[in-house]
Amino acid sequence: MSTAVADAPAEGQASDAPEAIKSFVVTLIIRRFDPDVDTEPHWQDFDVEVYPTDRVLDALHKIKWDQDGSLTFRRSCAHGVCGSDAMRINGRNRLACKTLIKDLDVQKPIYVEAIKGLPLEKDLVVDMEPFFASYREVQPFLQANSTPPEGKERIQSVAERARFDDTTKCILCAACTSSCPVFWTDGQYFGPAAIVNAHRFIFDSRDDASQVRLDILNDKEGVWRCRTTFNCTDACPRGIQVTQAIAEVKQAIMRGHA
Amino acid sequence: MSEQIADGAVIDGVHYHQFDIVIVGAGGGGMRAAIEAGPHAKTAVISKLYPTRSHTGAAQGGMAAALSNVEEDNWEWHTYDTVKGGDYLVDQDAAEILAKEAIDAVIDLENMGLPFNRTPEGKIDQRRFGGHTRDHGKAAVRRACYAADRTGHMILQTLFQNCVKLGINFFNEFYVLDLLIGEVDGPDGTTQKRPSGVVAYELATGELHVFQSKAVIFATGGFGKIFKTTSNAHTLTGDGVGIIWRKRLPLEDMEFFQFHPTGLYGLGILLTEGARGEGAILRNASGERFMERYAPTIKDLAPRDIVARSMVQEVLEGRGAGPNKDYVYLDCTHLGAEVLETKLPDITEFARTYLGVDPVVEPVPVMPTAHYAMGGIPTTNNAEVLSDNTTIVPGLYAAGECACVSVHGSNRLGTNSLLDINVFGKRSGRNAVEYVKTAEFVPLPDNPAAGVRDMLEGLRTSTGTERIAAIRKELQEQMDRNAQVFRTDDTLAAVTETIHGLRERYRNVQVQDKGKRFNTDLLEAVELGFLLDLAEVVVFSARNRKESRGGHMRDDYPKRDDENYMKHTMAYLTGDPHSSNPADHIKLDWKPVVITRYQPMERKY
Ligand SMILES: Cc1cc2nc3c(=O)[nH]c(=O)nc-3n(C[C@H](O)[C@H](O)[C@H](O)COP(=O)(O)OP(=O)(O)OC[C@H]3O[C@@H](n4cnc5c(N)ncnc54)[C@H](O)[C@@H]3O)c2cc1C
Ligand code: SF4
Ligand code: FES
């Protein structure tokens, strides 16, 4: 599968480059579903010429742009900051734009399918609405009782700010929630992403509604459903310590305050 | 005339909605407008992306405001820097508003919850950025408020969170493809153009929606995808600017596009100027800090146009690094792992992930990347869209990167765009609220969705053979080659020919996906149409400006020429848009620059 076929096209590179980067062909096996015609999803193979430094997103684009325009997936930023393209790549949730071909085993085909646990719409696209509904339910916005001094910022120490730094990085990609076995079997479970976004406010010194959020997450579909399988932490493309954030919320509930 | 169609009606498969204000775009500009408008008027935000996917989230370095939290600063210095940074093509009254209102804009965001980095006293921390100086150029000043190197992410999240709090009505993954304009009676028996709504395509279903509204705010972002090497998202195809153009409303200063110095080599992914703000240095192949030669006072923190040109100059003169001597280095190694991991974690990771280079121990290969459109939809300082140099279209607003106020002139300073979207986003929302208090709905035209339906059906059922991607790739490559950091009449003439050929081929474009649901193939074809239109205007305007100023560098006219070109370009679509010679359908005119305090001077740093 990884037969070298051509040199990198960069002009003039071949002659004086110390080692010209070789392209090769990989097979992507993609789980397709067209709601207009299919009753069931099916797998389809595509051979694509890629460079080791290409992203899986580049390979998907090559298929869409050169072979089959109907292949459907979401994407925007192409460098891991917008959260559009979480998908299951070789059985693991990742962002296609942050997964380089060279980091996969290219001797074997690359399997790509939509994330699990959310309704499949078409090919790699799922309905994100249930995911955002859980997010909205944890009241993911600052609620402060005090009014800040007119025309001034609220004061927050470096240490107070650091307490919730990790969870501010979330890009709402759903890689965590859709890798969670509890979520797969119980779609009512808030899921790790909603808890991460609650954490972001629960531990913000400027916020006064921690108690409300802790009560929400103490619900039967809340944090206690988490079985600490760490799938979410492994899946998070932003490197957020998701399981730890959930643990901190659990501890706060037991303590009775943030 | 179909005067009033009830909200929620479905006629001939087209869904009808009625709102006081429709905001097109849910990036920073659109959501900032929504926060002003939502509580006071029936408001809808229509966005082709989920709001949090908007490219505002990719912004890294910071947002400027003269808070003086860490050292002495004031808004007048900020105004001056903005005017000088824009090579004097900035409208100075607008720059003054930007700099003055910056302070409230940052405080608003903090009060809404934005987690800015803090000083030891717990105030908002500030860092240095290119072109921002103390006392009219004496030295670099710490003016950029930031949240690590994900300031845009935090702005986008904070604005979205507040929209959730306010229960703003979003229509996500709806593509606005047309603006509806009606003629109403104006003062003294004249007629006046006013918006009556927009037409949108729903990605999930393939159905069309007409949103009738009294006011429309465009906040659709930039169009960096006319170039190959760009920091912009795949979705930044200039739809809003393109729609305005097709409606035969003018576009301003389209020749001015900013090339950011530090794009990851070969990829264009941005490494924030904040890195140089923290002390990183640009070096050529021999390790020389070459910016000392080009901008002796502020060196690596000179404005972007100057730094980008200097980098290309180094490469052209054979001092580039790498096997092909075609890039320079951004050296962060002396900053130490601590600064990189805490203040610049994301860009550190980008370099590691995408180039396999660790900035802690090795310099990072970089070259300029197409970054920001200074030009766009001309507006007043109240975000009202202009139909000529002075006449507004009542009820129609634009804000953010799609608009041209002009606060950026011929070259935007870093951190002034996150500021722009907040200041003018807010102004657009406020002014739209005032407007709809007394305005009436303008009647919709008959079959308001017919134009969009015909365009889409034409594409979907076309038997053409031209691949979308092939046309787009050629456009982007030729724009990089001929209309990038250095331009001449020859290169611009060459790319004019290319665009003409591509526009011909586009008529024969092929859409392979014939389905209704989630047809992204169809939308890529539509987006390509906007890219081709805008590239043509950019190049045509660039050819006409025979001087070098800010982001527009003409190798054949290397000097700034205030006598002939100290004025804004206004481009109008006239005649048959498909005529082969752009001169037959683009008419150029000029608009004076507003000068208040600062007379144009030679720009030295
Ligand atoms: C990598 C990067 C880093 C940057 N860093 C900084 C920085 O540090 N400081 C700074 O000041 N500036 C920075 N900028 C510039 C700044 O981020 C942008 O100019 C600004 O965020 C643009 O915001 P916007 O709201 O105008 O557009 P965007 O955030 O791009 O939003 C556009 C919106 O329009 C919608 N839209 C587009 N077309 C349609 C359509 N047809 N129908 C419906 N909706 C549509 C999209 O869905 C999206 O919601 C950076 C830019 C980039 C690319
Ligand atoms: S926590 Fe990580 S994986 Fe989960 S939604 Fe946020 S960014 Fe994605
Ligand atoms: S495309 Fe934005 S995260 Fe992958």
What is the value of ipTM here, to two decimals? 0.95
Query: Are B554 and B546 contacting, i.e. CB atoms less than 8 angstroms apart?
Result: yes
Residue B252 has pLDDT above 70, yes or no: yes
Q: In what order do the strands lie in the sheet with B364-373?
A: B257-264, B364-373, B328-331, B281-283
φ and ψ at residue B380, rounded to 5 degrees = -80, 180
pLDDT at A18: 47
Q: Per-residue pLDDT averaged across B383-401, rounded?
A: 98
Is A75 close to B165, i.e. CB distance below 8 A?
no
pLDDT at A19: 55
Average pLDDT of chain B is 96
- Residue B604 pLDDT grade (very low, low, confident, very high; cuts 50, 70, 90): confident
Percent of chain B beyond pLDDT 90?
A: 96
* Beta bridge mates, B572: B587
B195, B180 in Cβ contact below 8 A? Answer: yes
Distance (angstroms) between ligand 1 centre and the Cα of B184 equals 33
Q: What is the pTM of this model?
A: 0.96
- The predicted pLDDT at position B201 comes to 98
Query: Does the CB atom of residue A32 touch ligand 2 within 6 A?
Result: no
In this structure, which amino acid lies at residue B79? T
pLDDT class for A13, splitting at 50, 70, 90? very low
Confidence check: pLDDT of B206 > 80: yes
Could you tell me whether strands A22-32 and A4-7 are parallel, antiparallel, or unpaired per DSSP bridges?
antiparallel
Task: Give yes or no for residue B455 having a pLDDT over 70.
Answer: yes
Amino acid at A141: F
What was the pLDDT predicted at B543? Answer: 98
Mutate to test the pocket of ligand 2, among A126, A189, A197, A236 (most ligand atoms within 8 A of CB): A236
Give the integer Cα–Cα distance in Å for B217 and B29: 10
The predicted-structure confidence for B505-532, as pLDDT tens digits, reads as follows 999 999 999 999 999 999 999 999 999 9
- Does pLDDT of A137 surpass 50? yes
**Domain A129-255 fold:** Fumarate Reductase Iron-sulfur Protein; Chain B, domain 2 (1.10.1060)
Q: Assign domain A16-126 one CATH number from 3.30.230.10, 3.10.20.30, 3.30.70.580, 3.90.1530.10.
A: 3.10.20.30
Residue whose Cα lies nearest atom 8 of ligand 2: it is A173
pLDDT value, residue A31:
98
For range A88-110, the mean pLDDT? 96
Q: Tokens 């994407």 map to which residue?
A: A75
Tell me the pLDDT tens digit for each residue of A52-65.
999 999 999 999 99
CB within 8 Å of chain B, chain A residues 28-87: 34-37, 53, 61, 64-66, 68-70, 72-84
Angle subtended at Cα B567 by Cα B566 and Cα B573, rounded to the nearest 5 degrees: 150
Cβ atoms of B263 and B366 closer than 8 Å: yes
* Counts of helices then strands in chain B (DSSP H, E): 16, 23
User: Do A148 and B111 make contact, defined as CB atoms within 8 angstroms?
Assistant: yes
- The torsion angles phi and psi of A119, rounded to 5 degrees, stand at -60, 130
Average of pLDDT values for B446-474?
Answer: 96
Mean pLDDT of B302-321: 95
pLDDT digits (tens, 9 = 90+) for A172-217: 999 999 999 999 999 899 999 999 999 999 999 999 999 999 999 9
**Is the pLDDT score of B31 beyond 90?**
yes
Closest ligand by atom to B31 CA: 1
Band (pLDDT 50/70/90 cuts) for residue B189 is confident
pLDDT in the model for residue A220: 84
pLDDT band, very low/low/confident/very high, at B6 (cuts 50, 70, 90): confident
* Residue A11 reports pLDDT greater than 60: no
pLDDT at B5 over 90: no
Q: What is the pLDDT of residue B3?
A: 55
Domain ranges of chain A: 16-126, 129-255
Residue A3 has pLDDT above 80, yes or no: no
Q: Residue B563 pLDDT more than 60? A: yes
pLDDT attached to residue A21: 77
Closest atom of ligand 1 to CA, residue B222: 30
Confidence tier at A221 by pLDDT (50, 70, 90): confident
Residue B443 has pLDDT above 70, yes or no: yes
> What's the average model confidence in pLDDT over B544-573?
97
Residue B415, ligand 1, Cβ within 6 A: yes
Q: What is the pLDDT of residue B76?
A: 98
H/E stretch holding A93 reads: strand A92-95
Cα separations in angstroms, B428 against B55, B244, B247, B432, B441:
20, 17, 20, 6, 19
B57, B511, B516 ranked by CB distance to A69: nearest:
B511
Backbone torsion region of residue B320, taken as left when φ is above 0, otherwise alpha when ψ lies between -120 and 50, otherwise beta: beta
